[in-house]
Amino acid sequence: MRIGIVGGTGGMGEGFALRWCFKHDVVIGSRDTQKAKAAAENYIKIARSSYGSSMIGSISGNDNFSLAEGADVVVLSIPYESIDDTCKGLSSHISTTCIVVSPIVPLGKSDAGFDYIPMVQEKKPAAEMVAEGLGPRSRIVSAFHSISEVKLKDIKSSLDADTFVCGDDMGCVSAVNSLISEINGLRSIYLGPLAMSYQAEALTPMLLNASRKNKIKNPGIKLVY
């Protein structure tokens, strides 16, 4: 599979690349092509030192928009504030069959702590903005909001966590579930259609507040039963 990571130079992008390059061809994206290429070279060194010759995928770098050409999956690993501009640039490069993954969290901060921007500023959830900017809505899948980049990047360790997944098309959800299952210790929990994404996105400010107030490093979420 060919996976493009828009904003792949950030912490989450590095984690996705390191986890998925074991089996897939990953293209790191940036607004600056040289920065993307440098990040890709760095990530591939880390991956090779860990996986050795058992790794069959690759990591390369490109600009945020060219990477979408020929991609089966594109992950938007960018800040909430940049969704509209990024989707505008991407839309003419991405095929309508490419699955688009949004791990984006609209994260704000007030004196009380971290908050969920759509709730306090009456803005839209990230997944809704992505669906408007990069339709068809059916190919958008929302996931990975409550995963810590620190744990994702640590490829030798198990995440021991769940991630909530939302999407309208079960074929697209199933493809993302397969990528989730390739990340050691990560379990997919389906939450419902994309309209439910706000519930998954809002978990991150809650987790960050719990982390700060209780001095818990990089907490995750796991359903128990």
Ligand X SMILES: NC(=O)c1ccc[n+]([C@@H]2O[C@H](COP(=O)([O-])OP(=O)(O)OC[C@H]3O[C@@H](n4cnc5c(N)ncnc54)[C@H](OP(=O)(O)O)[C@@H]3O)[C@@H](O)[C@H]2O)c1
Residue 40 touches ligand X, criterion: CB under 6 A: no
Residue 35 touches ligand X, criterion: CB under 6 A: yes
Residues 6+ apart with CB under 8 A from 203: 145, 146, 164, 221
Among 21, 73, 99, 104, binds ligand X (CB under 6 A): 104
Which residue minimizes CB distance to ligand X? 10
Residue 61 touches ligand X, criterion: CB under 6 A: no
Q: Return the residues of window 159-198 that contact ligand X according to CB under 6 A.
A: none
Candidates 4-12, 17-25, 131-139, 191-199 — which segment interacts with ligand X by CB under 6 A? 4-12
Residue 105 touches ligand X, criterion: CB under 6 A: yes
Candidates 41-49, 71-79, 133-141, 182-190 — which segment interacts with ligand X by CB under 6 A? 71-79
Residue 13 touches ligand X, criterion: CB under 6 A: yes
Residue type, 60: S
Strand 73-76 with 99-102, pairing = parallel
Q: CB of residue 204 vs ligand X: minimum separation in angstroms?
A: 6
Among 3, 4, 5, 7, binds ligand X (CB under 6 A): 7
DSSP assignment of 78-111: S-GGGHHHHHHHHTTTS-TTSEEEE----EEEET
Among 11, 136, 171, 185, binds ligand X (CB under 6 A): 11
> What are the phi and psi torsion angles at 186 (to 5°)?
-105, 130
- Whole-angstrom distance, CA of residue 101 vs CA of residue 26: 14
Neighbour-count burial for 206-218, b at 16+ CB within 10 Å, e otherwise: bbbeeeeeeeeee
Q: CB of residue 40 vs ligand X: minimum separation in angstroms?
A: 11
- Whole-angstrom distance, CA of residue 18 vs CA of residue 47: 6
- Whole-angstrom distance, CA of residue 98 vs CA of residue 89: 16
Q: CB of residue 54 vs ligand X: minimum separation in angstroms?
A: 27
Q: Which residues bind ligand X (CB under 6 A)?
A: 7, 9-13, 30-32, 35, 77-80, 82, 86, 103-105, 107, 144-145, 147-149, 204
